[in-house]
C-alpha cells in the first residue's frame, strides 16, 4: 500500500510542471482571443451598417434583383451562396448547415478554455498541497509557503482563463444565432418567392 501511495504522489507531483505550462499557454490564448474578439466586434459593426438597410429593403419590397452586400464578413459569403442556389432547396439547406458547422468550429477554442481553465486551475491547486502539508509537518514553513503560493496562483489563472472563455462563448453564440436567423429568413423568402412565381 505504501508503494502505491508513493507512486500516486510521484505521478501527481510530476504533473505539476505540465499543468503550469498548459495553464500559461491557455492564458496567452485567452489574451489572443480577447484581441480577436475586439476585431470581430468592429467587423460586425461595419457589416451591420450595410446589412440592416438590405434586410429592411427586402422585408418591404421582396428580394427581386436586390444587390447583396459584399465583403469579407463571413455572413456576406453565405448570403451570396443562398442567392446562387435560388432554385435548389437542397443547396440552400446545405449552405445553412455549413454555416452552423463553421460557427460551431469557431466556438471550439473558447469553449475549451471555459472548461479546461478551471479544471487545470484546480489541479494546480491540489498538487502542491501535498508537498505543502509535508513541509508543514516537518516544520519547513518556507517550503509550505512557496507551495501554497503556486497553488493559489494556478487557481487564479485557471479561473481567469475559464471566465474569458465563458464570456466570449456566450457573446459569440448570440452573434451566430442572430446570423443564422437572418440566413434562414433569407432562405424562407427565396422559397416563398419561388412558390409565388410557380403560381
Cell of 97: 448547415
Helix axes 74-84, 16-61, angle to 10 degrees: 50
Question: CA-to-CA distance for 103 and 96, rounded, in angstroms?
Answer: 11
Contact between residue 131 and residue 13 where contact means Cβ atoms under 8 Å apart: yes
Print the domain residue range for 182.
Answer: 2-198
- Ordered per-residue pLDDT tens for the chain, 199 residues: 677 777 777 777 778 888 999 999 999 999 999 999 999 999 889 888 888 887 777 777 666 666 777 777 888 888 888 888 877 888 889 989 999 999 999 899 899 999 999 999 988 888 887 777 767 777 767 777 887 888 888 999 999 999 999 999 999 999 999 999 988 888 888 887 777 766 5
Percent of residues in the chain assigned helix, strand, coil, to nearest 5: 90, 0, 10
Cell of 194: 419561388
What pLDDT, on a 0 to 100 scale, did the predictor assign at position 1?
Answer: 67
Question: CA-to-CA distance for 179 and 188, rounded, in angstroms?
Answer: 14
What pLDDT, on a 0 to 100 scale, did the predictor assign at position 169?
Answer: 95
In degrees rounded to 5, what are phi and psi of residue 155?
-60, -50
Nearest one of 72, 87, 98, 115 to 197, comparing CA atoms = 87
Task: Say which residue the cell 497553488 belongs to.
Answer: 151
What pLDDT, on a 0 to 100 scale, did the predictor assign at position 173?
Answer: 94
State how many domains the chain has.
Answer: 1
What pLDDT, on a 0 to 100 scale, did the predictor assign at position 48?
Answer: 85
What pLDDT, on a 0 to 100 scale, did the predictor assign at position 32?
Answer: 94
What pLDDT, on a 0 to 100 scale, did the predictor assign at position 76?
Answer: 83
Nearest one of 109, 129, 127, 131 to 119, comparing CA atoms = 127
Alpha carbon separation from 143 to 114, 121, 136, 179 (Å, rounded):
32, 20, 8, 54
Contact between residue 82 and residue 194 where contact means Cβ atoms under 8 Å apart: no
3-state DSSP assignment of residue 199: coil
Question: CA-to-CA distance for 76 and 70, rounded, in angstroms?
Answer: 6
Task: Say which residue the cell 505521478 belongs to.
Answer: 11
Amino acid at each position: 500500500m505504501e508503494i502505491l501511495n508513493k507512486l500516486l504522489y510521484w505521478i501527481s507531483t510530476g504533473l505539476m510542471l505540465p499543468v503550469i505550462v498548459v495553464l500559461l499557454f491557455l492564458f496567452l490564448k485567452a489574451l489572443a482571443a480577447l484581441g480577436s474578439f475586439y476585431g470581430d466586434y468592429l467587423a460586425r459593426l461595419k457589416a451591420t451598417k450595410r446589412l440592416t438597410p438590405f434586410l429592411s429593403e427586402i422585408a418591404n419590397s421582396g428580394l427581386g434583383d436586390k444587390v447583396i452586400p459584399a465583403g469579407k464578413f463571413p455572413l456576406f459569403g453565405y448570403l451570396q451562396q443562398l442567392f446562387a442556389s435560388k432554385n435548389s432547396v437542397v443547396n440552400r439547406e446545405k449552405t445553412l448547415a455549413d454555416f452552423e458547422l463553421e460557427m460551431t468550429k469557431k466556438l471550439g477554442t473558447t469553449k475549451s478554455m471555459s472548461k479546461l481553465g478551471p479544471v487545470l486551475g484546480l489541479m494546480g491547486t491540489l498538487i502542491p498541497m501535498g508537498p505543502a502539508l509535508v513541509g508543514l509537518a516537518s516544520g519547513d514553513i518556507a517550503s509550505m509557503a512557496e507551495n501554497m503560493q503556486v497553488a493559489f496562483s494556478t487557481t487564479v489563472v485557471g479561473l481567469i482563463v475559464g471566465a474569458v472563455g465563458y464570456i466570449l462563448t456566450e457573446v459569440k453564440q448570440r452573434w451566430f444565432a442572430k446570423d443564422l436567423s437572418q440566413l434562414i429568413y433569407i432562405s424562407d423568402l427565396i422559397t416563398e418567392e419561388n412558390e409565388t412565381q410557380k403560381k
